[in-house]
Amino acid sequence: MTDFQSVHGAAPTGVWAAPGRVNLIGEHTDYNDGFVLPIALPHATRAAVRLRTDGLLRLWSEQGDGKVTELDVAGLTPGAVDGWAKYPAAVVWALREAGHQVGGADFWFDSDVPTGAGLSSSASLECVVATAYRDLYELDLDAAGLALIAQRAENAFVGVPCGVMDQMASMCCAEGGALFLDTRDLAQRQVPLDLAGRGLRLLVIDTRVKHDLADGAYAALRAGCERAAALLGLPALRDLDLPGLPAALDRLPAELRPLVRHVVTEDARVEQAIALLDAADLTGLGPVLTAGHASLRDDYGVSCPETDLAVAAAVEAGALGARMTGGGFGGSVIALVDAERLDGIAAAVTGAFKAAGYADPRTFTATPAAGARRLA
């Protein structure tokens, strides 16, 4: 492993970390002004940083190609930076675009957030840069403000029209809890999630089917939701509730109905999950997760054979519930399981993948970890 000093020739000023996430429930609701319920993963991107006075951004990653990427912050333009370096560059660009007087820096990155697994590795990279810059440049931005900068970076510089969930999760989650977030006004509540105390585990199954949100499918879904809201005369699909759903569906063209049904029922599932967690009924969460997966598969169309198989195999082997997490089109599945059944369920999923001729999934358990922070 290379360290900051050997890459950049001096000691860093500090070290920061920002985590990846899994979302418990509330998928494809964030760009509809709806509710989400993510936890931060123990997996994080770490950055050692030292500011520069010459306006250069010099970026090096343990997971990169062994070369320093050098960029002039004044010349940063959307679309002009390729590969992983576009994420840190995007955040510096977004900060400057928002009027913050920030310049260059030397960065050393190291991440154990799996990439392309739907676990928000890019948001963790954006958020660690945003947090380090906030501290080093003493910017007047709170965690939610930094999340909005990181989202703007991803939307306008990287070119992915994502909602704000991943950046808010990476910035605002707290150890031991899930983040109940209203994406309309960013009102948030930390909801205790003592899985271990209840003899439960959250199994994460990375199907290793790489998802790529920049490929257009995500943007098309988002556009479909916005068109449906406009046809219904609503600011966003968030403004439709379960009782109003049947009449609203009647007013929409057939191709938009399943999208709307997913978003409205998914917001209701988040509220159901919150009620269960508030009542300390963690096992009751299981069927809500599985219902969420069925909706993403049958109505929203963002699951894939591998995520469907992981969910089916986990539930058949005794999981209390399971669903894909994140944007979909591959990526990861979460399964809520009794601790003593964890190994058996992981083995059953791996066995089902083998039998289907799929690559071995990567499995690990997730405990709710802390959001972005300074380490040293």
Contact between residue 47 and residue 20 where contact means Cβ atoms under 8 Å apart: no
User: Can you read off the two tokens belonging to residue 308?
Assistant: 């469907």
Q: What is the DSSP letter of 164?
A: S
DSSP notation for 189-217? EEEE--TGGGTEEEEEEE------GGGSH
Contact between residue 223 and residue 32 where contact means Cβ atoms under 8 Å apart: no
| Smallest separation, CB 237 to ligand GAF (Å) | 13
Residue 299-328 contact track with ligand GAF, rule CB under 6 A, x = bound: ---------------------------xx-
List active site positions: 166
Count Cα atoms within 13 angstroms, Cβ side, for 255.
5
Q: Which residues does 329 contact at the CB level (< 8 Å), separation at least 6?
A: 209, 211, 212, 213, 215, 217, 218, 302, 304
Bridge partners of 202, per DSSP, are 336, 366
| Smallest separation, CB 101 to ligand GAF (Å) | 29
Residue 203-232 contact track with ligand GAF, rule CB under 6 A, x = bound: ----------x-------------------
| Nearer to ligand GAF (CB atom), residue 106 or residue 166 | 166
Residue appearing with tokens 């000691």: 11
Assess 162 for contact with ligand GAF (CB under 6 A).
yes
Q: What is the DSSP letter of 325?
A: E
The interface region with ligand GAF, picked from 81-89, 137-145, 159-167, 194-202 by CB under 6 A, is 159-167
Assess 19 for contact with ligand GAF (CB under 6 A).
no
CA distance 148 to 151: 5
Count Cα atoms within 13 angstroms, Cβ side, for 209.
23
User: Can you read off the two tokens belonging to residue 287?
Assistant: 């069927």
| Smallest separation, CB 162 to ligand GAF (Å) | 3
The interface region with ligand GAF, picked from 28-36, 52-60, 250-258, 303-311 by CB under 6 A, is 28-36
User: Can you read off the two tokens belonging to residue 245?
Assistant: 């759903």
The interface region with ligand GAF, picked from 23-31, 126-134, 198-206, 362-370 by CB under 6 A, is 23-31
Q: Contacting ligand GAF (CB under 6 A), which of 28, 58, 261, 341?
A: 28
Assess 31 for contact with ligand GAF (CB under 6 A).
yes
| Smallest separation, CB 283 to ligand GAF (Å) | 24
* Residue 117 assigned as binding residue: yes
The interface region with ligand GAF, picked from 75-83, 161-169, 186-194, 293-301 by CB under 6 A, is 161-169
Assess 33 for contact with ligand GAF (CB under 6 A).
no
Contact between residue 159 and residue 79 where contact means Cβ atoms under 8 Å apart: yes
Q: Which of 112, 136, 138, 144 is nearest to 125 (CA)?
A: 112
Assess 163 for contact with ligand GAF (CB under 6 A).
yes
In the complex, the residues that contact ligand GAF under the rule CB under 6 A are 27-28, 30-31, 162-163, 165-166, 213, 326-327
